[in-house]
Amino acid sequence: MMHHSSMTSHSTAGSDASEPPRRLSPRTQLLFFIGCELLVYMDRGVLAGILPHIKESVHKGDSTPLSSAAAGWLGSVFMFGYTIASPIFARLSRRGPCWTARSIAIGLVVWTAACASTYFFVGTSYDLLLLCRLLTGVGEAAFCALAPVVIDDASPSGRKSSYLGLFFMAIYVGIALGNIVTAGIPSWEAGKVILLVEACLMVPMIVLCLRWQWRFSTSPQRVINEAPAYTGVSGTIMGFMSDVKQVLMSKSFVLICLGFAAFNFVVGGLAVHGPTILRESLHASQAVATLGLGLATVFTGRPPPSERERRSLACTRGVRFSPVGSIDGCECFRCLGNLLWWMAQR
């Protein structure tokens, strides 16, 4: 009898051990990715807010002061790392369900290391700072390319576009928060402290990502269907080229990418140079310029007026719900100019 009980207990323990881990709730997964997104894009706002201090303190190898073009490269060089690393992380994630979370964690580690290195190693070197900004793009590639896939798999039926809209809204809220937190920053040295704080805040997110790697919602069918059919280096290249060809055959995807690129061309320029332009044109302090731009970005957005319009604009939900994408152009700049002019006069 005791032997039978022991066998029963062992079989029960074995069945428990073989049970798959319980999935995180859709809301928990969404909140996790929104938190990461806020930190990643707050870094962009921080860079824009301290850009005048960077131009004063950071120099090239021959001690040449930074031009506006050189400073602008700091806000755009991440795209090189992002473009190169995105397909690499995308293929890495197709090794299995847990590799999606692992790829995201690897990217966040690179991003965190780049932000922390800015504090410890950059000093006043423009080249090292440019390299760190490049690496933030490499780290960002994994997260920004794969998180929407997990959110799409996790979100309840009928609410997928709403979940993705909230996720993409964090882009512009994060930039605005970065502008706001740099309002009282007096120097480049103080700005580097904020970058270090960002890195420290991302560490718990990395730990959670690795701890929950089996609990994120990744469709097994998606992994099976997207499993690489090629092996080896040459096979990987052939598989990548096949994926690119398949993507370029989608007219809708290409048109949406071109439209979103045009949108980000405008928003990206404002995000990087906006505080500096406002400070110089209005003769306002850096605190007024960054705080005013951040507050205006947060509070001038509006959602679509009806549920029917939300459904009809599902593919642009991230733009429509963003505090920047939903602003009427002339009205936005008139209100922003009036607000900052009033703040500058006080």
CA-based R_g, the chain, Å: 23
> Do 102 and 215 meet the contact criterion of CB atoms below 8 Å apart?
no
Model-level pTM? 0.74
At which residue do the structure tokens 């794969």 appear? 146
**Model pLDDT, residue 114:** 95
Rounded Cα gap, residues 141 and 81, in angstroms: 8
Rounded Cα gap, residues 9 and 259, in angstroms: 60
**Model pLDDT, residue 200:** 97
What's the residue count for the chain?
A: 346
DSSP-derived letter for residue 119 is: I
**Model pLDDT, residue 323:** 36
Phi-psi group of 230: left, alpha or beta (phi > 0 → left; psi -120 to 50 → alpha; rest → beta): beta
Chosen CATH of 23-249 out of 3.90.1150.10, 3.40.50.460, 3.40.50.970, 1.20.1250.20: 1.20.1250.20
Rounded Cα gap, residues 75 and 51, in angstroms: 9
Domain boundaries, the chain: 23-249
Q: What are phi and psi of 65, to 5 degrees?
A: -60, 150
**Model pLDDT, residue 196:** 95
Task: Indicate the SS3 state at residue 59.
Answer: strand
Mean pLDDT of successive 10-residue segments in the chain (346 residues)? 46 48 88 95 90 88 79 88 87 81 93 95 90 93 88 87 89 86 88 95 96 80 51 66 82 86 79 75 72 70 51 42 35 43 46
Alpha helices in the chain (DSSP H): 2-18, 26-49, 51-57, 68-76, 78-92, 97-117, 126-154, 160-181, 188-211, 220-225, 232-248, 251-282, 286-299, 307-312, 317-320, 329-345
